[in-house]
Amino acid sequence: VIDGIIGLSARGALRGEAAGLVGHIGAPVLAVDLPSGVDPDTGAVTGPAITAARTVTFGARKPVHVLNPASCGEVVLIDIGLAPELGEPDLRRLDGVDIVTAWPVPGPHDNKYTQGVTGVAAGSATYPGAAVLATGSAVLATSGMVRYAGPAADVVRARWPEVIATGSVTDAGRVQAWVVGPGIGTGQEGRSVLRHVLEAGVPVCADADATTLMARFPEVLDAREPGTPLVLTPHAGEFARLTGHELGHDRVAAVREAARKYDAVVLLKGNTTLVAAPDGRVLVNVAQGSWLATAGSGDVLSGLIGALLAGGVDPWLAAGAAAGVHSLAADLAARGVPVSASGVLAAIPDALRHLRRL
């Protein structure tokens, strides 16, 4: 079945006779430009709409093709000679070459300090695993140094003997970037840890409980030195707490506004992950499956981002590159079956090797 009911200028769900046709399609659908009834700018489905097995589009991919890949199926791009006329894209998707180019590689004159020292403030007596996962991914991401600070120091040291582990952020020593939030709790103790990290004047990746603490104690952001790089990594629920409203259908507009509001890079987690910079640029990472929908996977992502920040990578690019390696590691670890966060963590070196072969 070829779907050409409506085109890129249409908005909203199918109506009338067209809506009635959807339920009677019993064959694979080839959509022209986009599946009818799916919003071309947001990918939102608000009513009757086509689900395509394949979508053929012309000139350039449209936002819908990356924001709702489940509705579009395989996307085939036909070059019709428009490249010089297209201008800057509204969204950008990193490919493997982009990620490899951004990822730090030690040179002949590097040492453990010049490659970046990553600090990790994560975990608690209740959630020691968050510390192990976040610290481990920072260890595997680059060849520099990782310092851990928190109540899970003994557990981290036992799992990752190369990590310098202490019991408090005040004793951590000098770092070039911090990861803060996974498993630290949302009470006063977690608030104190977050404030100390923000006061350090180095790039920060704030994940999990750190985003909830920012919503609960917004004044904690006053500790951040103006202009210091900050990456926020909320899922949909944390995003709603941070911004005070639900995401809605236009996820791109929402994440852009949050990045502007917080003067931070905002990585909105999901099967299609969005990474917005304060100036409005947005990266998109589309996972090959839903294997990352597992407890602890976000802790792994935060460690990757923190290591790249410590290595001097631009925060927007660091978040996007980390998301790409994270989703590839999940795909390699899963091999078609469910995978845990520990499995994703263990597959990080394989993901990096895979990308370097491209």
Alpha carbon distance 104, 112 (integer Å)? 12
Is residue 199 domain-shared with residue 316, that is, in the same domain? yes
Q: If you search the block for the tokens 């990918």, which residue do you land on?
A: 43
Residues 234 and 262 placed together within one structural domain of the fold = yes
**Is 85 found in the same domain as 101?**
no
Answer yes or no: do 73 and 107 share one domain. Answer: no
Which own/partner pairs from 276-282 qualify as long-range (CB within 8 Å, at least 24 positions apart)? 276/252, 277/315, 277/316, 280/256, 281/92, 281/316, 282/90, 282/91, 282/92, 282/252, 282/255, 282/256
Residue 336: predicted pLDDT? 87
Can you list the residues of the chain whose pLDDT is less than 50?
Answer: none
Q: Say how many domains are in the chain.
A: 2
Residues 288 and 151 in one domain: yes
138 and 274 fall within a common domain: yes
Looking at residue 85, what is its pLDDT?
66
Dihedral sign of CA atoms 67, 68, 73, 79 in order? negative
Q: Record the tokens describing residue 136, joined without a space.
A: 């481990």
Residue 284 and residue 340 in one domain: yes
Domain boundary among 66, 89, 112: 89
Whether residue 110 sits in one domain with residue 65 = no
The answer on 301 and 155 residing in a single domain is yes
Closest CA to 4 of 42, 47, 57, 45: 57
Contacts of 215 (CB under 8 A, 6+ apart): 238, 241, 242
Q: Kindly report, residue by residue over 231-250, the tens digit of the pLDDT.
A: 999 999 999 999 999 999 99
Domain that holds residue 144: 96-356
Using N-to-C axis directions, what is the helix angle for 209-216 and 188-199, rounded to 10°? 100
pLDDT (tens digit, 9 = 90+) per residue, 198-236?
999 999 999 999 999 999 999 999 999 999 999 999 999
Query: What tokens appear for 197 in the block?
Result: 């990290």
What is residue 32's predicted lDDT score, i.e. its pLDDT? 97
Q: What is the CATH number of the domain that holds 42?
A: 3.40.50.10260
Supply the pLDDT for residue 78: 95
Q: What pLDDT sits at residue 65?
A: 95
Q: Find the angle CA(51)-CA(56)-CA(60) to the nearest 5 degrees.
A: 120
39 and 144 share a domain? no
**What is the pLDDT, as a whole number, of residue 294?**
94
Same structural domain for residues 75 and 209? Answer: no
pLDDT of the residue at 82: 79
- Scan for tokens 């409506």, then name that residue: 6
In this prediction, residue 307 carries a pLDDT of 98
Q: Are 197 and 243 members of one domain?
A: yes
Where residue 278 sits, what CATH number does that domain have? 3.40.1190.20
